[in-house]
Amino acid sequence: MSANVIVTISYPVKLDKIVQYQHLIEQFARAVNDTQSGIEVSVYASDEKANAFVELYECINNESFDNLEDNYDDATKDLVIAISECLEERQTIRTLTKRIG
């Protein structure tokens, strides 16, 4: 898949929830990558801050990301809720669109 749009979601995880978060986010990424077409998700951890993580969504177009949540099954929706309970309040979302190449 050639990504034309990249979406990043950056956030800190509650320190006492990091192990739980890592287990949940691994399941979430696997679920999205196995069931969604036109989108691929990866999760990265900061080398500087133990609780800083970034979700990276590589998308064919903006619509594939915009429609992502609409296509979640019940199990994936439950994962999203459980993950959100592990996060601190601050989140930064960035969308980057391929302009060159």
Q: Domains plus CATH for the chain? A: 5-97 (3.30.70.100)
Q: Which pair of structure tokens corresponds to residue 45? A: 């951890």
DSSP 9-55: EEEEBPGGGHHHHHHHHHHHHHHHHHH-SSEEEEEEE-SS-TTEEEE
Residue 101 confidence (pLDDT): 67
Residue 99 confidence (pLDDT): 86
Residue 1 confidence (pLDDT): 63
Tell me the one-letter amino acid at 51.
N
Residue 34 confidence (pLDDT): 94
Phi, psi of 61 (to 5 degrees): -155, 175
In this structure, are strands 52-59 and 39-45 parallel, antiparallel, or unpaired? antiparallel
Residue 48 confidence (pLDDT): 95
Residue 57 confidence (pLDDT): 97
Report the chain's C-alpha Rg in angstroms: 14
Mean pLDDT by 10 residues, the chain (101 residues): 90 97 97 92 96 96 90 94 94 92 67
